[in-house]
Structure 1
Amino acid sequence: MGGVKDHVVMFPFMAKGHTIPLLHLAGFLSTHHHLHVTILTTAGNAPSLRRHLPSSVNLYLLPFPSSPLLPSGVESTDLLPSFSLFPAFMSATSLLRPHFHHFLHSLQLSNSIPLCLISDFFLPWTLPSCQHFNVPRLTFHGMSTFSMFITKSIITNTNKVDFKMNPLSIPGMSDSNLKVSLADLPDEVQHITDLDIPSTQFTLAAAEADDHSWGSIINSFTDLEADYSHRFQSLFPAGVRAWLIGPLSLLNNIDKTDEYDDDECLRWLNGKPKGSVVYVSFGTQAHVEREQLEEVAHGLEMAGWDYLWVVRDVSFRPPEAIGKKGKIVAWASQSAVLQHEAVGGFVSHCGWNSAFESIAAGKPLLAWPMIAEQSLNAKFLVEELGVGMRIGNVAGDQNGVVSREVVEKGVREMMADGEMRKKVEIFGRMARNAVRDGGSSSQILTDLIEELRKVADDRREEVAVAEESLVQLQRKDELVRTVA
């Protein structure tokens, strides 16, 4: 089909973990569903996005607002020299609102209002413009449905939660065996009752924007999180639906060479036996102290398995005698690495995108949560799914250093646990089936597109009726003037 109703606009938050899943979706919608897809971004982020996308996906550049609090050229959270600058970065992104409004206005003038906007939840200020131009807004959180339900339930029912209890009594979780403590929650949810904290104000504003949006798309699949999907959706006003369409990493292959040579990693893996390599990555946002990195290095060597370790700190130099069993790199194409048969397990910070890629690849996890909702993800992976085991500090204590002996023990147990491996391989097959033709995620995505098309058709019909009514009124006025 052609025409303006086939246009989908995406606005990812400017962070790799938030952007990459939507790039998978954008490429798939463009090449498989033949939709016209436009991604909103800034000049500093465009080159990386362009390398990851088919030519059929368009980029529309918005000017990144200057801020005296941010270093020049920092247009992504991955480039922040310190995470303490994150609030300043968020404030700067909110200044994109008039440029976004102008973009939608230009589409209206060209009679090409899109089917929808898929907006990161970190951009709640996109909602008023969507409402003004009658564009359905779908939010994307990049979180597991379980974590989204827990946080949403607490935000929605703050007056019903006793934050001094341990574990917490969370509305909607009375029949669950999973126990959640205050320390498991993201910082902004832990302090959700303190309305003077900027992060609380933002969290509440984002939650309200979600409530007034058309729906949410979730990077998960029905057989993995059907129960929590129903619980999560029950917290929204009637008509707002959650659409589980993942794993997005399996929709479209965007793992091309970026600013680092990932082919070197894959060539290195090609020379290793099946299931013999431990993949290690703590994501792009969490700061890991040098002392902890050294303990990890020693622990990996002591465990005896080959390892591929992504270390964001390019200045890190491992201790002498470290590196005989492994390869340390600054970046790797994670999805491709996890899909490689040589990889036998993943030491992960439990960001949902990373953890879900591991599940999709059928690889068990050593769960080492650090920030945000990662402790909730770890709880779901370990206690609910049984596809990982926990390492690291207890929830809420992120200051202690995990010893090399603990790292060694955790890696050895992860690589040797046959039952855990069987479970994750089953979930991996289920994940691949979900995105195949006729699979649950594939069908839900098709249903979503058709529903959006129906909404667009209804919207156009309303406009046509209104225009026809206006014409009739004008004709009556002319007739009255003629008679007079």
Structure 2
Amino acid sequence: MEGEQAAATTTTCHIVAMPYPGRGHINPLVNLFKFLITSKKITDIIVTFVVTEEWLSFIGAQPKPDNIRFHSMPNVIPSELDRADDFVGFVDAVMTKMETPFENILDRLQPPPTLIISDTFLFWAVTVGNRKNIPVASFWPMSASVFSVFQHFLLFEGNGHFPVNLLEKGEERVDYIPGISSTSLMDFPNFLDGNSTSQKLLQWIFKGFSCVPKAQYLLFPSIYELEPKVIDVLRAELSLPIYTIGPCIPYFSIGGESPSDQSSLSYLQWLDCQPPGSVLYISQGSFLSVSSVQIDEIAAGLCDSGVRFLWVARGEVSKLKEVCGNNGLVLDWCDQLKVLLHRSVGGFWTHCGWNSTREGVFAGVPFLTFPIIMDQMLNSKIMVEDWKIGWRVKKGLGVDTVVTRSEIVGLLKKFMDLESDVAKDMRQRAIQLQQICQAAIDNGGSSETNINAFVKDIVQCHTH
């Protein structure tokens, strides 16, 4: 294609990627680089992906282009997958223990790095890049809407909404965050209560935001047409170039090699045997989960509803297989995007992480939203109220709010009723959003144009 040929270059470029050590932060960066390399946006590129030793053990053996290499640094705590037990302690360690080993790695790399792409939360990566005169692209792993919330967080205090008792005022709606439509307080990232944990995490978040103007680029793994108002606001307010380079999901590998392990073959074969649009795909993410009481209610509701399902559940597989009956499958892992794109899948029950949100939108499926923490509440609101391609499962606040099996049964039967006018309208809107995503990545689309412009910028910076 003409646009792709214009963006390709023979200039050698060595990019160092420094993600926050979490799957939702690592995956979109990996997908970005795989796309840049497989699409030949930059030729003669070397990518050094810096991860902790534990994350290297999880992703180091995954298939990747030859010019992506992994480089490890020591874990920040003995077992990083225990970070949910002491999330604040884990964040403190990331913010205070990773800068020196990262700088030491940069000093040893050959050829010398020409660009750092670092997670926006890792403020010290910008500091190191500036100190070594290496350009830095700040990679924000969430929606642009959530970026605007933190960029304008002082507005909550100015309007008497920080700190605030969300149990009393959670239903109150505000419309003063630039680029974001009227939103209830409970649908913003859950830091408005001002408790000690929130205050500590906000300090680190604001530290990251204070370094954004010191970076040379800001990258959003989003598609402009999904968040046009907020992206326009940020481009007007910030002086550095902003690129929407989404979706940063592995869509470019769909249709490639068939899965080789028997478990993957079995769940795809099972999906092949189900009627079109009849299967509900369920995943609550890879980090925090819902309570065991809520898991039991979901399982009972699925069983009583008779809805077909494919459920990816961490650590609960054996138990759930016994409870859920014969209407579906319970797995500990699947190729999520392939599943969502399968003709038999008619809906996605999700925790509303931004990666899962983008994959569901790209697949054109409607959502049942069950947010747990951080940005997930605002993502849920956007899907349900702004895009109108989903329904809420959980309407109350907090992880401990339990949705009963009878509520779940009623919701599932309505949601998976492909003949109802309401469900048809929602699915039609989901298809329209899918078409917008496809147009964005096609030749001349917004994402393809943004990626080409970013590539041109970093190549010119390197050659000069």
Q: What TM-score results when the alignment is normalised by the length of structure 1?
A: 0.83
Please point out which of 298, 306, 309 is paired with 2:308.
306
Counterpart AA for 1:419: D
Contact 1:218 1:243 in 2 (8 A): yes
Unaligned runs of 5+ in 1: 459-484
Look up the match of 2:274: 272
Please point out which of 64, 89, 103 is paired with 1:54.
64
Contact 2:16 2:117 in 1 (8 A): yes
Contact 1:119 1:137 in 2 (8 A): yes
Unaligned runs of 5+ in 2: 1-8, 418-422
Please point out which of 172, 178, 185 is paired with 2:188.
185
Cα drift, residue 286 of structure 1: 2.0
Q: 1:366 to 1:158 in 2, by over 3 A?
A: closer
CA distance in 1, matches of 2:208, 2:76: 23
Look up the match of 2:141: 142
* Residue 418 (1) aligns with residue 420 (2): no
1:43-442 → structure 2 map (5 Å cutoff):
43-65=53-75, 67=77, 70=78, 74-75=79-80, 79-80=81-82, 83-93=84-94, 94-107=96-109, 112-114=112-114, 116-155=115-154, 157=155, 160-163=158-161, 164=164, 166-172=172-178, 177-181=181-185, 183-188=186-191, 190-191=193-194, 197-236=199-238, 238=239, 240-253=240-253, 261-314=263-316, 317-318=319-320, 322-394=324-396, 396-416=397-417, 417-442=423-448
Q: Which has the larger radius of gyration?
A: 1
Q: 1:177 to 1:199 in 2, by over 3 A?
A: closer
Contact 1:188 1:203 in 2 (8 A): no
Q: After alignment, is 408-417 or 310-319 more displaced?
A: 310-319
Contact 1:296 1:404 in 2 (8 A): yes
Cα drift, residue 297 of structure 1: 0.9
Counterpart AA for 1:37: V
Percent identity at matched positions? 25
Q: 1:226 to 1:101 in 2, by over 3 A?
A: same
Q: 1:335 to 1:379 in 2, by over 3 A?
A: same
Q: 1:126 to 1:399 in 2, by over 3 A?
A: same
Cα drift, residue 138 of structure 1: 1.6
Contact 1:118 1:140 in 2 (8 A): yes
Per-residue CA shift, 1:140-179, capped at 9, x if unaligned? Answer: 2321222222232215x46533215732353425xx6522
C-alpha RMSD of the superposition: 2.6
Q: What TM-score results when the alignment is normalised by the length of structure 2?
A: 0.86
Cα drift, residue 323 of structure 1: 2.2
Q: Secondary structure at the match of 2:184?
A: coil
CA distance in 1, matches of 2:197, 2:391: 36
* Residue 443 (1) aligns with residue 425 (2): no
Q: 1:105 to 1:265 in 2, by over 3 A?
A: same
Cα drift, residue 39 of structure 1: 0.9
